[in-house]
Structure 1
Amino acid sequence: MDLFEETNDWETKLTPILKKYKGRKHPLEYQNLYQLMIMVVLSAQDSDANINSISPALFETFPNMKSLASSSVENLIPHISKVRNFGTKANWLIEIAQTIQENKNIPLTMETLTALKGIGRKSANVIMREAGVPPEGIIADLHVIRVAPRIGLITESKDGNKVEKQLMQILPKTIWDEIGMAFSFLGREICRPKPKCEECPINSICNYYRINR
């Protein structure tokens, strides 16, 4: 019988990765909530490493939401020109800053975050997780999209929102805050496109490992 069809306790099955990655900070090297929000928007379709490399100079020029709000797209672009889709993202960031105005006004609910330009459910889930507020969803980045179907949790999909919806239907809310990043870290380190299955702490419950070992 496929794991997907089982009704066993997924929270127990996934405990090894929940313990391994619990509380680990997101790979974006942010110092505060303002920096995190800006970096999350910039990281869409780009690598965390690239965003980390351009961020120190960016935040030296724009240290807070207020300084960004009083600037312009033209002034911002030179600082993010190495980022994919920098023109569109510059427009998004200036609009976000002018909407929020100050760091203290940064919203922390799914509804208020996704109302901002350039912030979808995945980005909102990351921001909320890092801020330590109660989860309203599960992070479904490209690593989660690869890992969750391999395990046998969900059916395969390239659509992050569909993956998130499936996971929310299967996994208890008690682990929503950590399981997305746990899958993401597992995907970055072990369950890569060419996976290192022998090193995986949950290979005993994994469909992919059962079929391919």
Structure 2
Amino acid sequence: MDLFSDSISWAEKLAPIITQYKDRKHPLEYQNLYQLVIMVILSAQDSDANINKIAPALFRRFPNFESLQHTTHDDLFPYISGVRHFQMKSAWILETAQLIKTDKNIPLTMETLTQLKGIGRKSANVIMKESFVKPAVGIVVDLHVLRVAPRIGLIPATKDGNKAEKLLMQLFPRTLWEDVGMCISFLGREICRPTNPKCPGCFINAHCHYYNNN
């Protein structure tokens, strides 16, 4: 079966996982927009679980952007040293704090968010989705989506998140952009694992290229 030319739309095929996951909160355990922005910056090339682990102490010491205004790298390092590339991310955070100055100035558009250091389209899409910015202007494409989308037959394999996002945006109506990326991500985290995927229990195995060709 050629899943790329199947007459059934991918919106219909993925309806079960959208129903299952669309209301699921992002795995980053943030309490407000400030925390979300900082945690998204820190999570690049690191796990959400690790960022959740270091976050409580970090935010007790630095509860808002105002508290980061006059902070030095030496002040910040002890709280984020367990994060990959923490020195680079410290520079991003402090530069962002100098630019934003206060939590009320946190931007919520793709153009303004991606001007901040450490925030690309994926991170901006996460921030806007979690902030209920509508209509969505893009689709969240994290490492799980980059792995799962080609596996199930949605798009060709690529390591370029922006390219993958553009391809997915062509496949789905804009009404689904807000949810579909994170729904695929949750599928990848829970069922469509890198090794030993739980294919028999998958909600969409009838339409999956991997399942139907292995």
Task: Give the Cα separation in 1 of the matches to 2:187 and 2:60.
Answer: 33
Question: Is 1:107–1:113's contact at 8 Å kept on the other side of the alignment?
Answer: yes
* 1:188 matched residue in structure 2: 189
* 1:160 matched residue in structure 2: 161
* Correspondence 1:5-154 to 2 at 5 A: 5-134=5-134, 135-154=136-155
Instruction: Report how far residue 10 of structure 1 moved.
Output: 1.8
Instruction: Report how far residue 189 of structure 1 moved.
Output: 0.3
Aligned to 2:202, which of 189, 196, 200? Answer: 200
**Root-mean-square deviation over aligned CA pairs:** 1.0
CA shift digits 1:149-190 (9 cap, x unpaired): 111111011111111111011111110000000000000000
Task: Give the Cα separation in 2 of the matches to 1:101 and 1:2.
Answer: 53
Question: Is 1:77–1:90's contact at 8 Å kept on the other side of the alignment?
Answer: yes
Task: Give the Cα separation in 1 of the matches to 2:50 and 2:64.
Answer: 21
1:139 partner letter: V
Instruction: Report how far residue 5 of structure 1 moved.
Output: 2.3
Q: With the length of structure 2 as denominator, give the TM-score of the two structures.
A: 0.96
Identity value in percent: 65
Instruction: Report how far residue 22 of structure 1 moved.
Output: 1.3
1:184 partner letter: S
2:49 partner letter: A
Q: With the length of structure 1 as denominator, give the TM-score of the two structures.
A: 0.97
Task: Give the Cα separation in 2 of the matches to 1:173 and 1:69.
Answer: 38
Q: Partner of 1:201: helix, strand, or coil?
A: coil
1:69 partner letter: Q
Instruction: Report how far residue 7 of structure 1 moved.
Output: 4.5
Q: Partner of 1:5: helix, strand, or coil?
A: coil
Task: Give the Cα separation in 2 of the matches to 1:47 and 1:130.
Answer: 18
Q: State how many pairs are aligned.
A: 212
Question: Is 1:69–1:101's contact at 8 Å kept on the other side of the alignment?
Answer: yes
1:25 partner letter: K
Moved more, 181-190 or 152-161: 152-161
2:126 partner letter: V
1:16 partner letter: P
1:203 partner letter: N
Q: Partner of 2:213: helix, strand, or coil?
A: helix
Question: Is 1:2–1:152's contact at 8 Å kept on the other side of the alignment?
Answer: no
Report whether the alignment pairs 1:211 with 2:210: no
Q: Any unmatched runs of 5+ in structure 2? A: none
